[in-house]
A and B are shown apart, each in its own frame.
Chain A
Amino acid sequence: MAPDREEVLKNIDQSRRRFLRTVIAGAAFAPPVVMSFSMNGLSVDPADADCPGPSLSPGTSSSPTPPRGSNMTTQVPVVFYLDRGTGGNLLLTENAPTATTAKFTDSPALSRSNGNPWKPIGAWDAISNLHSSCPIEELSDLHVWLGLRNSDDQGARFDLRADFSVDGTVIATGETDGIIGLVRNPAQAKEVIVTFGPADMVELTGALSLVLSARIAANSPHASATGLRLYYGSATQDSNFDVDFQ
């Protein structure tokens, strides 16, 4: 009987799907095994203990032997969802949204004049400092849902840029150009994927922030637009990206 992994995975919370897909890739069934042991005699760097993949190092006394074949360090992706607090502040949260109605944030008016500058849609800041001591290993693609502020702009093309920063320093930037097919109807918001370029994985730690910006695309038949509308914070329009911490 052939495995039907995707059928199972599609019912897994999105925040865990990528991780689980990696775990089971190419694996044949083996009976589930859980081996537990006290950490007495092993050391955990307190800074690492808050990271998704704690680095454990063997102690020198009568420490338990780690299980053969186990990895003492794992990288587990953390999914950050775009959201907005009650005070209107834009934030990154690890809580998957469950709301049925999406929130949205608009860009200002966009125009090709004056050099077609990038206009900020917003800056989303991580609300938790849980991972603030954890260097970043990798960023996944950013998934966002986009629409128009005004239906008159239907047919316009847009560029979207994402800047991801740690402690105020941009370490990765992604850009998707020529986005087409956006409409005013929130129910028809379009999922757009932004792939981050190679991140500058310096050992930076600190507050995480995502800034999204938009402009009129070079190949747009419209030279200006009222603006982009970015949807997030609902179960179906859960704009998000993964961060793998070291």
Chain B
Amino acid sequence: MIYQADRDRAHYLNHSAVVVLELCDGRRSVSDIAESVRNVYGLATAPRRDVDDVLKKLGAEGLVADVLAPRPTRSGALRSARKGNG
């Protein structure tokens, strides 16, 4: 659970969403994150679409920043701004 005091909103994340959030360190691209999720769960392919979707949701809720225009290069890597207590 994450609670944003400034917005008085709570967010429940399942374990794979927590993994995605934790991987938003400002250095990894969306592709990097999807690949890491693949490794964590031993998937045959990287769940790129799932990761895209959850990043949009996290971005819309203000839990991460700059997720809507990711680029696969290091210079375009995600810049995350984690908020709340999670």
Q: Which residues of B contact A49 (CB under 8 A)?
A: 3, 5
Known contacts A1-B42, A30-B16, A32-B16; is-contact A56 B22 (Cβ 8 Å): no
Size bin of chain A's contact surface: 35 or more
Cβ of A4 and Cβ of B42 under 8 Å apart? yes
**A3 x B40 contact (CB < 8 A):** yes
Q: Tell me whether A32 and B20 are in contact in the complex, defined as CB-CB below 8 angstroms, given that A8-B36, A42-B10, A49-B3 are known contacts.
A: yes
Give the chain A neighbours of B43 by CB distance below 8 A.
Answer: 1, 29
Q: Which residue of B lies closest to A46 (CB)?
A: B5
Q: Is the CB of A24 within 8 A of B50?
A: no
Interface residues of A in 25-75 (CB under 8 A from B): 27-40, 42, 44, 49, 51-54, 56, 66-67, 70-74
Report B8-27 CB contacts with A as 1/0, cut-off 8 Å: 11111111111110110100
- Contacts A23-B15, A33-B13, A34-B54; A3 near B1 (Cβ below 8 A): no
Q: Which of A16, A66, A71: most chain B Cβ within 10 A?
A: A16
Q: Nearest chain-A residue to B16 (Cβ)?
A: A32
Q: Does A2 contact B (CB under 8 A)?
A: yes
Closest to B45 in A: A1
Q: B12 contacts A24, CB within 8 Å?
A: no
A1 to B, closest residue via Cβ = B42
Contact of B54 among A1, A19, A29, A32 (CB under 8 A): A32
Chain B residues engaging chain A, CB cutoff 8 angstroms: 1, 3, 5, 8-20, 22-23, 25, 36-37, 39-44, 47, 50-51, 53-54, 57-58, 61, 63, 85-86
Question: Could you list which residues of chain A lie within 8 angstroms of chain B, going by C-beta atoms?
Answer: 1-5, 7-8, 11-13, 16, 19-20, 23-24, 27-40, 42, 44, 49, 51-54, 56, 66-67, 70-74, 76
